Structure 1
Amino acid sequence: MGFDEISLKGRALRLLAGREHSRAELQRKLRAHETTPGELSQALDELEAKGFINEQRVIESVVHRRSSRLGAARVRQELQAKGLDPQAVAEAVAGLQGSEEARAREVWRKKFGEPPRDAAEHGRQVRFLLTRGFGAEAVRRVVRGTAVQDDEG
């Protein structure tokens, strides 16, 4: 059986085997393979009913894979891009904000490991962390080193 003959459900399962996908992502990726209207929607309904597509697992997967390297803002962006429920995204991101500074410090430590020597280096370190979606306050505290080291909870 050639690749073109694989059912939409089979294609979806193949994608899901690689990583968790939201329904919106699967629709976007598989739309081109739909031969009759409603066929894709029906296949995704069946997969959702059987628990193969699970929004909460998608959220947990993204948070688990990305939160050690990215700030809450970037994780929120990635979750929103997957077409997930806004309330569920907001809750997941709120859970990350408590550890924002500690995560930013760890990313900073791996990349730089020492305080900036001058204003240019300070700017570079700040921009690096900001582009990874860490909050401005957490970034300021990490780069300045004003954070209480043992208060990482």
Structure 2
Amino acid sequence: MRRKRSKPEPDAQGGRETALRLLSRREHSAAELKYKLGRRGHEEGQAQEIVERLGTAGWQSDARYAEMLLRNRADRGYGPLRVRAELEAARVADAIIRAAFEAADVDWDARACAVHARRFGQPPQSAAEWQKQYRYLAARGFESGQIRTALKRDEPGAE
């Protein structure tokens, strides 16, 4: 008969190793990292302490996470509204989000045009197409001004 092995109580050292292993794969926000440690059996206070120590040591940074996520999502064709929503969902501070957007050199109008050209190839020919293309870009997280710029880019007499 096999005996079940009981899991050892998670300790701070094991939590630090787990957090470093998670951070070695990709950046995580402090809240994400704390949540993942909690899911692995670490108490909330212990997880908070581990994340704070990693932040102090420079292993975890919400600013670095925000920059990485913004760059990644912009490259994949998502707009600023979607990126901001993801950062807020990861509980990144608003000041850090603003700083990341200011530091990023992203031309959102050009991104919206590129996404539109890749998906549709031509400007809308009817009101129904206009609505369909508008909804698509809005769902990707672009603002209304950026969407209008993308939809009007190939029209005769457009900017």
Category of TM-score, reference length = shorter chain: 0.7 to 0.9
Q: CA deviation at 1:34?
A: 3.6
Q: Which residue of 1 aligns with 2:121?
A: 113
Q: What is the CA-CA distance between 1:101 and the residue it aligns to?
A: 0.8
Q: Number of matched residues?
A: 146
CA distance in 1, matches of 2:54, 2:79: 32
Match of 2:53 among 46, 51, 56: 46
User: Would the aligned equivalents of 1:22 and 1:58 in 2 still touch at CA under 8 Å?
Assistant: yes
Over 3 Å counting, the alpha-carbon distance change for 1:113 and 1:95 in structure 2 is farther
Larger Rg: 2
Task: Tell me, yes or no, if the aligned pair for 1:75 and 1:93 is still in contact at 8 Å.
Answer: no
Q: Is residue 73–residue 83 contact of structure 2 (8 Å, CA) maintained in 1?
A: yes
Do residues 100 (structure 1) and 98 (structure 2) align?
no
Deviation of the 1:41 alpha carbon: 2.0
Select which of 74, 86, 94 maps to 2:94.
86
Q: Counterpart of 1:151?
A: none
Q: Deviations over 1:52-92 (max 9, x none)?
A: 10121101101110113111111111111111121121232
Specify the SS of the correspondent of 1:38.
Answer: helix
**1:2-151 pair list within 5 angstroms:** 7-36=14-43, 38-68=45-75, 69-94=77-102, 99-145=107-153, 148=159
TM-score of the superposed pair, with normalisation by structure 2: 0.80
Residues 63 and 100, structure 2, Cα contact 8 Å, conserved in 1: no
If the length of structure 1 is used for normalisation, what is the TM-score?
Answer: 0.83
Consecutive aligned runs of 4 or more in structure 1 exceeding 6 Å deviation: none
Q: Which amino acid aligns with 1:64?
A: R
Any gaps of 5 or more consecutive residues in structure 1? 149-153
**Residue 45 of structure 1, CA deviation:** 2.3
Structure 2: runs of 5+ lacking an equivalent: none
**Contact 2:67/2:104, CA 8 A, preserved across alignment:** no
8 Å Cα contact 2:15-2:50 kept in structure 1: yes
